[in-house]
Structure formats: C-alpha cells, structure tokens
Amino acid sequence: MEQNENQYPKPLSVKDWLITLLLLAIPVVGIVMLFIYAFGSNENPNRQNWAKAYLIFTAIIIVIVAVIFLACGALFMSAMSHNQPTSF
C-alpha cells in the first residue's frame, strides 16, 4: 500500500469492493477473508475497519439469535411439561 507520513491511504476502487464482496459471498472463503481483512497487516485501513465492524456486527446478531432461540426453546419445553393430559 502506497502511503507517506503526510498522505491518507489510497481509497479502494469500485473494482476492489466488488472483488471483496464477491469473496465474502463464498461460504468458507468469506469468513477466512474477513479475518484476513480485519487483522492483516498490509490491508487498507478502510477495508480493515469495515471488516472489524462487520465481524462485531455478526457476533452481536449471533448472540441475539442464540438468546431468542434459547428463550423460545425454554418456553416450548415449559409449555410441554405443563400440558398434562386429563382423564375423564
């Protein structure tokens, strides 16, 4: 990456972003590339910050979905245990 002390990093082109998004669309490769983009030392700071934010956002969504899943499961199990058949 070309950068001097007084210059900002070179912005990513549309082609760079298209390649980035295409790589992220591939299931296993996308996850690996996110970590490379986020923690690689030779990455553009803009892509690096974007990848870190994407990983944090994904982790938050996974936690929210897990909490909802566990709460719904607990509610279902509670309803099933209280639904005892009655004899006539």
pLDDT at 79: 83
Q: With contact defined as beta carbons under 8 Å apart, do 10 and 44 qualify?
A: yes
State the pTM of this model: 0.76
pLDDT at 78: 86
Tell me the mean pLDDT per 10 residues along the chain, length 88: 68 94 95 95 92 97 97 89 67
The DSSP-derived string for 31-75 is: HHHHHHHHH-TTS-HHHHHHHHHHHHHHHHHHHHHHHHHHHHHHH
Sorted by sequence, the CB contacts under 8 Å of residue 48 that are 6+ apart come out as: 37, 38, 39, 40
pLDDT at 21: 95
